[in-house]
Amino acid sequence: MYQSILRQQLELLKSSNQYRTFTTLSRICGQYPLAKLEGAPDTPVVVWCSNDYLGMSQHPLVRQQMHWALETYGAGSGGSRNIGGSHELYARLESSLADWHEKEAALVFPTGFGSNDATLQCLLRQIPDCVVASDERNHASIVNGIRATPNERRVFRHNDVDELEQILSAYPVDRPKLVVFESIYSMDGDIAPIAQIVKIAKRFNALTYLDEVHAVGMYGPRGAGIAAKLGIADQVDIIQGTMAKAIGVIGGYITSTQTLIDAVRSFATGFIFTTSLPPAITAGCLASIEHLKTSSCEREQLHRSSGTLRERLRQHDIPVMRCSQTHVLPVLVGDAERCKAAAHRLLNVHGIYLQPINSPSVPVGTERFRVNATPNHDLNQIDHLAASLRETFDHFAIPLASQASAAEVA
């Protein structure tokens, strides 16, 4: 009976084009963004949708420090930090993160998903009667953390500061409130009105929780994110980030006051009862962050490459969605079946890996490719991508930018 129920659910997923499959790619160290495709090892493909935004997973310094830590400390951490002990590398990494965001303290988690999920659950359970206001396009990790608590929750329209103000104004000033939002939204590439949100939150005595996972390393002084770029990081109560994207390794973190960090460390079950990052991973994260604090060449090249890619796509009439303001370039397809077919053709005909983004990750009718250049993509690869997308769009009669709605594409 149980197998039958699960099979039915899987068939529904497949029939709606929401079933996910893995493409087996083996990245080639030192040759990023090239990877070997399973079954065709002699012809590398070019990866165009990795979150390794700056190619730091390949950086010699990061790899060197990971090798050093592996040979010095071994492979695993031995358990949670409460049971296995808290390695000195964790303290150094958390100190570096707190310095990066100019906060009093930081706390590291094994993943970015876990840092959002565990922290939000903890805060909402520990702060009595706290109401949470969440942007409608917040990441699944944020949604998961909020839904796991019985707290009253309100969802405001994406980046709509007027609706947020209406929500917060409906509660007494002394009622605990938490506003949760992101700086850069990964599927649209747009930027939140951070300054306005923070101003409104302060007016109504609400804590602010900002997810900067798609910004850290790439924006602001020393790569500390959008809030730092705007000069208002000190006004944001909690900044959350990841070490799996621009930093190039894995792990999540939060930064805030010493008291808040200590509370999450002491009460968050998602932190207390999980194995800590291995020393080699921690060393790699620390090396990457310290490098990005002082080196701007990677992010400068990222933004140059992103600008070149955006222009090449425009020249080939490829519909980049108007919402994009950042390095994330959402290319509109608008149909789940054609999006999957186009991805297959790009991979097998043109040697380009782009993952189709379909519902429920994005609304039905806005299916897309989420494209991003890195400092490692050269001009030939950028030109090849633009030409290949145009050939693929023509092949499947996918509407071009000149044929799509002006409200949707630039």
For the ranges 29-43, 88-102, 375-389, the lowest mean pLDDT is seen at 29-43
Claim to verify: residue 321 and residue 208 sit in the same structural domain: no
| Count of domains forming the chain | 2
SS3 132: strand
In b/e form, how buried is each residue of 14-41, taking b as 16+ CB within 10 angstroms? eeebeeeeeeebebeeeebbbbbbeeee
The pLDDT, as a whole number, for residue 42 is 81
**Residues of the domain holding 155:** 61-294
pLDDT band at 406 (very low <50, low <70, confident <90, very high): low
For the ranges 13-22, 74-83, 246-255, the lowest mean pLDDT is seen at 13-22
The pLDDT, as a whole number, for residue 17 is 78
Claim to verify: residue 24 and residue 115 sit in the same structural domain: no
The pLDDT, as a whole number, for residue 40 is 80
The pLDDT, as a whole number, for residue 407 is 54
Which residue, 277, 294, 311, sits at the end of a domain?
294
Question: How many whole angstroms separate alpha carbon 349 and alpha carbon 261?
Answer: 50
pLDDT digits (tens, 9 = 90+) for 193-236: 999 999 999 999 999 999 999 999 999 999 999 999 999 999 99
Claim to verify: residue 236 and residue 108 sit in the same structural domain: yes
Claim to verify: residue 88 and residue 148 sit in the same structural domain: yes
CATH code of the domain in which 269 resides: 3.40.640.10
For 386, the enclosing helix (H) or strand (E) is: helix 379-395
User: Per-residue pLDDT for 287 more than 80?
Assistant: yes
Question: How many whole angstroms separate alpha carbon 180 and alpha carbon 51?
Answer: 22
User: Per-residue pLDDT for 2 more than 60?
Assistant: yes
Instruction: Choose from 16-25, 32-41, 57-66 the range with maximum mean pLDDT.
Output: 57-66
The pLDDT, as a whole number, for residue 159 is 98
User: Per-residue pLDDT for 283 more than 80?
Assistant: yes
Claim to verify: residue 264 and residue 121 sit in the same structural domain: yes
CATH code of the domain in which 349 resides: 3.90.1150.10
In b/e form, how buried is each residue of 110-126, taking b as 16+ CB within 10 angstroms? bbbbbbbbbbbbbbbbe
* Residues forming a β-bridge with 210: 181, 239
Which residue, 294, 321, 349, sits at the end of a domain?
294
In a domain, 25, yes or no: yes
The pLDDT, as a whole number, for residue 405 is 65
Question: How many whole angstroms separate alpha carbon 368 and alpha carbon 257?
Answer: 39
Claim to verify: residue 244 and residue 382 sit in the same structural domain: no
User: Per-residue pLDDT for 298 more than 80?
Assistant: yes
Active centre residues (catalytic): 245
pLDDT band at 9 (very low <50, low <70, confident <90, very high): very high
Claim to verify: residue 285 and residue 350 sit in the same structural domain: no
The pLDDT, as a whole number, for residue 409 is 67
pTM reported for the whole predicted model: 0.95
The pLDDT, as a whole number, for residue 71 is 97
In a domain, 238, yes or no: yes
Any residues with CB less than 8 A from the CB of 307 and at least 6 apart, and which?
A: none
pLDDT band at 280 (very low <50, low <70, confident <90, very high): very high
Kindly provide the residue ranges of all beta strands, DSSP E only, lying in 328-374, ordered along the sequence: 329-332, 352-353, 356-357, 368-371
Question: Average model confidence (pLDDT) for the chain?
Answer: 96
Claim to verify: residue 278 and residue 149 sit in the same structural domain: yes
Claim to verify: residue 101 and residue 40 sit in the same structural domain: no
Mean pLDDT within 58-85: 96
In a domain, 369, yes or no: yes
Share of the chain above pLDDT 70, in %: 99
Question: How many whole angstroms separate alpha carbon 389 and alpha carbon 157?
Answer: 32
Question: How many whole angstroms separate alpha carbon 27 and alpha carbon 204?
Answer: 48
**Cα radius of gyration (the chain):** 22
pLDDT band at 174 (very low <50, low <70, confident <90, very high): very high
Claim to verify: residue 258 and residue 315 sit in the same structural domain: no
Mean pLDDT within 390-399: 97
pLDDT band at 313 (very low <50, low <70, confident <90, very high): very high
| Cβ(126)–Cβ(267) below 8 Å | yes
In a domain, 157, yes or no: yes
Claim to verify: residue 208 and residue 121 sit in the same structural domain: yes
In a domain, 128, yes or no: yes
The pLDDT, as a whole number, for residue 404 is 75
Helix boundaries (H) for 215-278: 226-230, 258-267, 269-272
Which residue, 264, 294, 324, sits at the end of a domain?
294
Question: How many whole angstroms separate alpha carbon 319 and alpha carbon 406?
Answer: 10
pLDDT band at 344 (very low <50, low <70, confident <90, very high): very high
Share of the chain above pLDDT 90, in %: 91
pLDDT band at 360 (very low <50, low <70, confident <90, very high): confident
For 107, the enclosing helix (H) or strand (E) is: strand 105-109
The pLDDT, as a whole number, for residue 410 is 58
pLDDT digits (tens, 9 = 90+) for 378-390: 999 999 999 999 9
Question: How many whole angstroms separate alpha carbon 224 and alpha carbon 215?
Answer: 8
Claim to verify: residue 131 and residue 66 sit in the same structural domain: yes
3-state helix, strand, coil in the chain (%, to 5): 45, 15, 40
